[in-house]
Amino acid sequence: MSQLLIVHHSQTGHCARMASAVISGACHGDLVTTVVAKPVREASVDDVLSANAIILGTPENFGYMSGAMKDFLDRVYYPLEGRVEGMPYVCFVSAGNDGTGAVRAIERIASGFPLKRVHDPLVIVGEPTDEQLSACYDLGMYVSAGVEANVF
Ligand SMILES: Cc1cc2nc3c(=O)[nH]c(=O)nc-3n(C[C@H](O)[C@H](O)[C@H](O)COP(=O)(O)O)c2cc1C
């Protein structure tokens, strides 16, 4: 069985809307991947170890990922060292006007595990539009389908 972990954080709701759409896409009815979605403070080392791929969703705060997302990556780094090499990942970011700092920070830390990026980061500025939520849905579906087909 394939399993996909979606770890997400939101303070004012924008990234939460993105996460809901990503989760919906990952749970597309034609797919059998088990989708585990966790608010970042509830996500654990075991959640990652049980997964075949991971999606990280965060707002950009002060030119970086959110503190809660950084805390998650700090918490799991040593316990996962050497145990998730090459795990497929993607990230999505909600930003007020930029988003590149959060993406850069996630990519840098991901390269330390190292995880394997399997899709470009999805950055959305402000309240997501229906079209942007559709892109979030597609991202979730893409990763879920890729995990199921074992193509990453
Ligand atoms: C403390 C704080 C710092 C922020 N710093 C940035 C920033 O550096 N760059 C940016 O583009 N937006 C920044 N923002 C705006 C948020 O990224 C933006 O409002 C985002 O959509 C919030 O997502 P959320 O609603 O899921 O919390 C900041 C917001 C807060 C609360």
* Structural domain boundaries in the chain: 3-139
Atom of ligand 1 nearest to the CA of 99: 11
Distance 96 CA to ligand 1 centre (A): 5
Please tell me the pTM assigned to this model. Answer: 0.98
Residue 1 vs residue 76, higher pLDDT: 76
Which helix (H) or strand (E) segment is 7 a member of? strand 3-8
106-149 pLDDT, tens digit per residue, is 999 999 999 999 999 999 999 999 999 999 999 999 999 999 99
- Picking from 69, 72, 81, 145, the residue whose alpha carbon sits closest to that of residue 115 is 81
Distance from the Cα of residue 26 to its chain's centroid: 11
CATH superfamily of 3-139: Flavodoxin domain (3.40.50.360)
Confidence of residue 1 (pLDDT cuts 50, 70, 90): confident
